[in-house]
Amino acid sequence: MSSQVEHTDVGAYALGLLEEGDRRAFEAHLRGCGSCQVELRELSGAAGALSGLSPAAAGPVPEPGWADRGGDPSVPPAPVIDMMRRRRRDDRRFRRGAYVAGSAAAAAALAAGIGIGAAVNEEGPAPKPPVTQAITGEKFHAANAGNGASGTVGLVDKGWGTQVGLELSGIRGPLKCHLEAVSRDGERSVVAGWSVPDKGYGVPGQPKPLVMQGGTGLARQQIDHFEVRLDDGGTLLKIPL
């Protein structure tokens, strides 16, 4: 018996309704359970047990004079015993059903967890590499034969100015650079800045170009050209529009 069942068997034990195996198991439990001992003392007398039962709960009331006609007052009448047996049987059936339902739910949850884990761990196609950020808008390209740098800018007119995309190749580091937009009247606006690692971009051993996005407050119609400049001075590439 589980501890839950043992606690609920006090009344049945007090009335002598437990089967031999259950009775022995309950007695073993009783030796170490103070709450059951207290409850059993309260139910030790059949009269006390019967006084706690309402007429509706106890079933048919014994015929008047039942005890006077030889009925043992220490033993409950048959209707009460039948009622107690039915209660105990129903109680156990309810707990057994709850246990089965709980076990089924736990099994379903475990199966779901296994399924999810299998789905997560299942080998599938390798994840696709991130797509290189594309240069969009109106495009302009230039190259510098002297140092091998080449690049493309893509311009998108915006309400706040101009969105600028840059793709740059043919440069090695370490360098710190920035892209400037130069207006027709000579105004300069820094679009973006970056560092070039030793391996560089768009060169043997590191073929991928640098691709980045930036912006300028200059309107598209105001821009004359772009310059890729070194932070410490000098121009790597000029891209006219």
What pLDDT digit, counting tens, does each position of 42-60 carry? 666 543 444 444 444 444 4
Q: Give dist(CA 81, CA 78) in Å, integer.
A: 5
Domain coordinates in residue numbering, the chain = 3-121, 138-240
Q: Give dist(CA 161, CA 43) in Å, integer.
A: 90
- Domain 3-121 classified CATH 3.40.50.970? no
Residue pointed to by tokens 């240069």: 135
**What are residue 164's DSSP bridge partners?**
155, 214
Averaging pLDDT over each range in 3-17, 97-111, 202-216, which range is the top one?
Answer: 202-216
What pLDDT digit, counting tens, does each position of 163-222 carry? 999 999 999 999 999 999 999 999 999 999 999 999 999 999 999 999 999 999 999 999
The pLDDT of residue 85 is 60
Whether 3-121 shares its CATH topology with 138-240 is answered no
Mean pLDDT of the chain: 73
Architecture of domain 138-240 in CATH? Answer: Sandwich (2.60)
The residue among 127 and 63 whose pLDDT is bigger is 127
Cα 79 to chain centroid distance, Å, stands at 55
**Using alpha carbons only, how large is the chain's radius of gyration in Å?**
45
Give the strand order in the sheet containing 175-183.
188-196, 175-183, 223-230, 235-240
Q: Phi and psi dihedrals of 214, rounded to 5?
A: -155, -165
